[in-house]
Amino acid sequence: MNVYDAQRMADVLAPEGYAAAAHLEEADLVVLNTCHIRERASEKVFSELGKLRALKAERAKAGQETKIVVAGCVAQAEGAEIFRRQKAVDVVVGPQSYHRLPELLRRAESSRAVLDTDFPAVSKFDHLVAPAPAAIRKRGVTAFVTVQEGCDKFCTFCVVPYTRGAEDSRPVEDIAAEVEMLAAAGVREVNLIGQNVNAYHGQMQGGAAASLAALMARIGSVPGIARIRYTTSHPGDMDASLIRAHRDQPKLMPFLHLPVQSGSNAILARMNRKHTRADYIALAGEIRAARPDIALSSDFIVGFPGETEEDFGATLELIEHIVFASAFSFKYSPRPGTPAAELDDQIPEAVKVERLSRLQTLLDQQRYAFNRKMVGRVLDVLIEKPGRHKGQIAGKSPYLQPVLMDGSAERIGEIVSVEIVSAEGNSLFGRPLPEQPAREALR
């Protein structure tokens, strides 16, 4: 989401004459795009700002001005407090107001400490600025497309409903027009994003609400688009049409990030997740029935207040039962203003550390096993960029695994049949098969 937001800020600033600087030291404007989801991410902002203040002072000695903008969810949550903690900051702007950046920067010419963290009455989607084709090409053959923003779920640990506001979906034809423009500039894969993307209910022509599956059917018809992905989903919003799309929509990739957070019903209830362990297991079963080879991925929180060794054991058991291809896992981090932060049975840090390490050992084993299973198979790989070494190219398998192979950078944007020869850490290594006329027809 923040990568996408950073691109939108660049798009808004481009017509104002701003272009990306090659080095931080050369920048007249520095935008720090921040994350509030866990305390570590939040605190990092202030240490970064300390370094930027020194840079600003250094450049001022040489007669150069540097504007510092703090954007993102820390900006939204902390607001004017940021100016108090770091005087070098010129503008603080929340995620709802990026379209106003040019105006805010103009205001910052005459007065310091310009703040905009309002939740606007009109949809922020109305203010999206289209990227220039050159910017799209620079970003590569896969692109994020925002389709939904905000969250009304209020999981008790989470700041997102407070920083990103209420749920809002973008109309189908606006999204389709953006995807057509992306495809015309060479994009082959779109990743539909939203905090709660499968709650999507954007308007169709005529006014009725479209499901995410209906949106994907529309996007799948855009010439040039070969792959569709979406992230992040809530288990409660995996409706039947979306599950069917995993069977029937050939461009939808067999990978699903479906956060579960915990395997214990008691903890899930205290998290206000609105699903049980059994719900999740049943759902995973339905999705696998629709698309047997699907790679499932998830998010986990360990050490949520009141989590007993037994609760944690239930999470490990759930992982053994489901088997994940990849996952993100976190120690619970109390966030100001969220209900869980007020609970009095907080878990000691040492226990969180120990549980996270056991959890990650299991998840890593599953990921390596999933990757090793690919050896000897032929996978369709979308070539995205040059590889780490000269003469190498890199792309992604349908299951979102990075795949490296020898080949020419001219192949970027092609979907290549690749025989997987080895799996190491997170990456697969393969050999492109020579003849693939059917694939070429896709271009």
Q: Tell me which residues touch ligand SF4 (CB under 6 A).
A: 151, 153-155, 158, 160-161, 195-196, 234
If the CB atoms of residues 238 and 394 are measured against ligand SF4, the closer one turns out to be: 238
Shortest distance, position 154 Cβ to ligand SF4, whole Å: 6
301 binds, among ligand SAH, ligand SF4, none (CB under 5 to 8 A by kind): ligand SAH
State which of positions 247-276 bind ligand SAH (CB under 6 A): 259, 261
Q: Binding of ligand SAH at residue 234 (CB under 6 A)?
A: yes
Q: Binding of ligand SAH at residue 191 (CB under 6 A)?
A: no
Residue the block writes with tokens 């993100």: 328
If the CB atoms of residues 157 and 399 are measured against ligand SAH, the closer one turns out to be: 157
Which residue in 66, 156, 169, 195 binds ligand SAH (CB under 6 A)?
Answer: 195
**b or e along 198-219 (b: 16 or more beta carbons within 10 Å of the residue's beta carbon)?**
bbbbbeeeeeeebbbbbbbbeb
333 binds, among ligand SF4, ligand SAH, none (CB under 5 to 8 A by kind): ligand SAH
State which of positions 367-426 bind ligand SAH (CB under 6 A): none
State which of positions 37-56 bind ligand SAH (CB under 6 A): 37-38
If the CB atoms of residues 182 and 260 are measured against ligand SF4, the closer one turns out to be: 260
161 binds, among ligand SAH, ligand SF4, none (CB under 5 to 8 A by kind): ligand SF4
Which three-class secondary structure string do you get for the chain?
Answer: CHHHHHHHHHHHHHHHCCCCCCCHHHCCEEEEEECCCCHHHHHHHHHHHHHHHHHHHHHHHCCCCCEEEEEEHHHHHHCCHHHHHCCCCCEEECCCCHHHHHHHHHHHHHCCCEEECCCCCCCHHHHCCCCCHHHHHHHCCEEEEECEECCCCCCCCCCHHHHCCCCEECCHHHHHHHHHHHHHCCCCEEEEECCCHHHCCCECCCCCECCHHHHHHHHHCCCCCCEEEEECCCHHHCCHHHHHHHHHCCCECCEEECCCECCCHHHHHHCCCCCCHHHHHHHHHHHHHHCCCCEEEEEEEECCCCCCHHHHHHHHHHHHHHCCCEEEEEECCCCCCCHHHHCCCCCCHHHHHHHHHHHHHHHHHHHHHHHHCCCCCEEEEEEEEECCCCCEEEEECCCCCEEEEECCHHHCCCEEEEEEEEEECCEEEEEECCCCHHHHCCC
Q: Binding of ligand SAH at residue 230 (CB under 6 A)?
A: no
154 binds, among ligand SAH, ligand SF4, none (CB under 5 to 8 A by kind): ligand SF4
Which residue in 160, 192, 295, 379 binds ligand SAH (CB under 6 A)?
Answer: 160
Q: Which among 311-319, 328-336, 403-411, 420-428 is the span making contact with ligand SAH, rule CB under 6 A? A: 328-336
Q: Which among 155-163, 211-219, 345-353, 423-431 is the span making contact with ligand SAH, rule CB under 6 A? A: 155-163
Which residue in 246, 251, 335, 367 binds ligand SAH (CB under 6 A)?
Answer: 335
Q: Binding of ligand SAH at residue 158 (CB under 6 A)?
A: yes
If the CB atoms of residues 153 and 411 are measured against ligand SF4, the closer one turns out to be: 153
If the CB atoms of residues 158 and 212 are measured against ligand SF4, the closer one turns out to be: 158
State which of positions 281-300 bind ligand SAH (CB under 6 A): 299
Shortest distance, position 316 Cβ to ligand SAH, whole Å: 16
Residues that bind ligand SAH (CB under 6 A): 37-38, 157-158, 160, 195-196, 232, 234, 259, 261, 299, 301, 330, 332-333, 335
